[in-house]
Structure 1
Amino acid sequence: MNTRQLQHFLAVMNTGSLSAAADAVHLSQPALSRSIKALEEELRVSLFDRTNRRLHPTPFAMEYLERAKRIVFEEREGVRTLNLMKNGAYGPLVFGLGSSVAHDFLASLIRQLLASGPGLKIQAQVHSTDVLLDALQKERLDFFIGDVGAAARYPELMVEPLYTCSFGWFTRADHPLAGRKGLTMDDLKEHPLIGSGYISEMLALKMAHLYGMQMPIETNFAASINNIETAHDLILSTNALFPTTFLAMIKLLREKSVAILDVQPSFELELTLGIVTIRHRTQTPAAMQAFNIIRSYFQEAEQEIEVYL
């Protein structure tokens, strides 16, 4: 058995098709079929039932899947670790984060990393947690900053919780509702609501329960936007209301250009942000430096936001 055979097995499991798997691993279909057959002979079990030109995983294949993934990962990770040691590599560094964190923090993070490692090559991707989760699982990222609750259910990932978000309803400082006490959902519905784009199903259900909203939650918003700069622009230039985290509004709060609405019931959801990595992956010095900067940022943000709560 060799890891190339295991890669071929995983390709078939991932694609569900011999032809698609052959394209993915750059082999002809007969060559891929021979590789799978050789693996079956070595394991002495049938991994696939062959019917109508398709391969259907057997219970043996389903049982072996996670072990095969770990073996292939460990081989790649071993080579990667040795290369890092051999080359004294500081990078490159590829990471992701959500729009609200990026808006306030990404430029500062990159400045600090480049100051300590001028030769570092950084790729930063700004996406929602669901997109970043997929990219990390496919090993296209070294880590991401996002919803650790969404990542915790995947055993191959490791999370470091850093910041528990506080939520509120926000609008421009001179909005007609600014300063009013005890606002209800009926008051809010008189104005367009802006959604933040990504929200986990659990958070959506809790928000719907709090305010009597319909599901899916997106149907309650005039617009759903996963770009925080655009959301900020709409809040400041219209009568729109924005239910979101204080962290997403921290720049406008500093500028005193937005108001925090007094809405009943209070907007209490559970969302913890942190660092998500691949379990057992050897981190580069650049990644370790980034983790320290990220930890400091969330500590400072938490202290700043406490003033508004």
Structure 2
Amino acid sequence: MDLKRWTHVVALADRRSFIRAAEQVHLSQPALTRSIQAAEAELGLQLFDRGTNEVVATPAGEFVIARARQLVFNSRCLERDVELYRSRSLGDTAFGVGPFPAATFLSQLMAGMRREFPGINLRVEISNWQLLLKRLLEEDIEFFVADTRDLPPDPNLYVRALRREPGGFYVRAGHALSTRKSVTLQQLWSHGVLSVRLPTGVRTVVSRLLGLAPDAELSLALECDDVEVLKEVALACDSVLAAPHAAVAEEVAAGKLHPLEVTGLPSQSSEMGVVTLRGRTPSPMAELIISRLPGKG
């Protein structure tokens, strides 16, 4: 069976609709239907159940689709690698960053890239690791940089560690806690904490120190993937900001934010990593950006 037909099978498995899959592979619906029927006839297996609401893979289909997906992926990688080998030119790229890298080093990195390569187009998605992983697996971005502690083990992923980014808690100037030499976690939490989504390990440590029951949910006053938004909120009210030191260095130096010393709390830091698809050769521009990330190069 030719590769194009495998592509049709994978598209239908992903989209679960002949109409949507046909749009994805730029075919008419009847043409896609004929291609799937031909694939099933050639294999002697029914790959899909045609339900009333959506098309679902049969057990045989799931077995075949998993292998077809790898074939399609390898084919795209081969085409891309051949083109890179032929041209070896820097090209456009798209990648993702989590909230902490976006707030600490992204602006400086992108400014440097724009100065050095003004003719290159870059696309950066800022989000949590869950959504960035989805984009990576869909091959919509080449890599992403984020805290990798909660990243599920997956043989299709390759993770390169970056330096750790230490962080802490901060309040606005004039806050009731700002004059204290140290505060307890309970005192801090009573004012409401602003943070990105905390990794599972951090949530566990904080929940234990707060004396919460094992099955109790740790509550945040505001959870947001944009650290700049969190800073603005902290500067305008009495909530406590959790953030990496590098993200608030300017505000601390200007006396706008005050760091808190929290009694009994171990030092906290994010564990950043670069996540790529194993077996896929990054574009020259992607490799260049990765080489310039903090802790790389």
TM-score of the two chains, using structure 2 as the length reference = 0.85
Q: 1:267 Cα deviation (Å)?
A: 5.1
Relative to 1, partners in 2 of residues 1:194 and 1:92: Cα closer, same or farther, differing over 3 Å? same
User: What are the within-5 Å matches in structure 2 for residues 288-307 of structure 1?
Assistant: 288-296=287-295
Do the aligned residues in 1 keep the contact of 2:145 with 2:274 (CA within 8 Å)?
A: yes
Quick check: 1:49 aligned with 2:49?
yes
Partner of 1:8: 8
1:249-295 Cα offsets, whole Å, 9 max, x none, are 34434445432222243056674111111211112222222112103
User: What are the within-5 Å matches in structure 2 for residues 1-309 of structure 1?
Assistant: 1-52=1-52, 55-181=55-181, 183-196=183-196, 198-201=197-200, 203-212=202-211, 215-217=216-218, 220-266=219-265, 271-296=270-295
Give the distance between the partners of 2:269 and 2:260, measured in 1 at CA.
19
Paired residue secondary structure (1:294)? coil
Relative to 1, partners in 2 of residues 1:162 and 1:122: Cα closer, same or farther, differing over 3 Å? same
Do the aligned residues in 2 keep the contact of 1:49 with 1:56 (CA within 8 Å)?
A: yes
Do the aligned residues in 1 keep the contact of 2:149 with 2:199 (CA within 8 Å)?
A: no
Q: Percent identity?
A: 27
Give the distance between the partners of 2:85 and 2:229, measured in 1 at CA.
43
Q: 1:25 Cα deviation (Å)?
A: 2.7
Q: 1:109 Cα deviation (Å)?
A: 0.9
Give the distance between the partners of 2:8 and 2:22, measured in 1 at CA.
8
Q: 1:231 Cα deviation (Å)?
A: 1.5
Relative to 1, partners in 2 of residues 1:86 and 1:254: Cα closer, same or farther, differing over 3 Å? farther
Relative to 1, partners in 2 of residues 1:53 and 1:106: Cα closer, same or farther, differing over 3 Å? closer
Paired residue secondary structure (1:12)? helix
Paired residue secondary structure (1:166)? strand
Partner of 1:307: none
Which moved further from structure 2: 206-215 or 65-74? 206-215
Which moved further from structure 2: 186-195 or 74-83? 186-195
Q: CA RMSD in A?
A: 2.8
User: Residue 123 of structure 1 aligns to which amino acid in structure 2?
Assistant: R
1:84-136 Cα offsets, whole Å, 9 max, x none, are 23333201021121233223322221233234434322222222222211111
User: Residue 132 of structure 2 aligns to which amino acid in structure 1?
Assistant: L
Do the aligned residues in 2 keep the contact of 1:171 with 1:235 (CA within 8 Å)?
A: yes
Relative to 1, partners in 2 of residues 1:251 and 1:48: Cα closer, same or farther, differing over 3 Å? same
Which moved further from structure 2: 22-31 or 56-65? 22-31
TM-score of the two chains, using structure 1 as the length reference = 0.82
More helix by share: 1
Partner of 1:305: none
Paired residue secondary structure (1:176)? coil
Segments of structure 2 that go 5 or more residues without pairing to the other structure are none
Q: 1:165 Cα deviation (Å)?
A: 4.1
Q: 1:206 Cα deviation (Å)?
A: 4.3
User: Residue 45 of structure 2 aligns to which amino acid in structure 1?
Assistant: V
Give the distance between the partners of 1:236 and 1:14, measured in 2 at CA.
45
Do the aligned residues in 2 keep the contact of 1:169 with 1:261 (CA within 8 Å)?
A: yes
Do the aligned residues in 1 keep the contact of 2:96 with 2:124 (CA within 8 Å)?
A: yes
Which moved further from structure 2: 150-159 or 30-39? 150-159
1:168-214 Cα offsets, whole Å, 9 max, x none, are 22212442212535533442244232232x33455444433332458
Do the aligned residues in 1 keep the contact of 2:136 with 2:143 (CA within 8 Å)?
A: yes
User: Residue 209 of structure 2 aligns to which amino acid in structure 1?
Assistant: L
Do the aligned residues in 2 keep the contact of 1:101 with 1:247 (CA within 8 Å)?
A: no
Which moved further from structure 2: 81-90 or 264-273? 264-273
User: Residue 56 of structure 1 aligns to which amino acid in structure 2?
Assistant: V
Give the distance between the partners of 1:120 and 1:226, measured in 2 at CA.
27
Give the distance between the partners of 2:233 and 2:242, measured in 1 at CA.
13
Give the distance between the partners of 1:187 and 1:104, measured in 2 at CA.
28
Give the distance between the partners of 2:140 and 2:55, measured in 1 at CA.
28
Give the distance between the partners of 2:69 and 2:249, measured in 1 at CA.
41
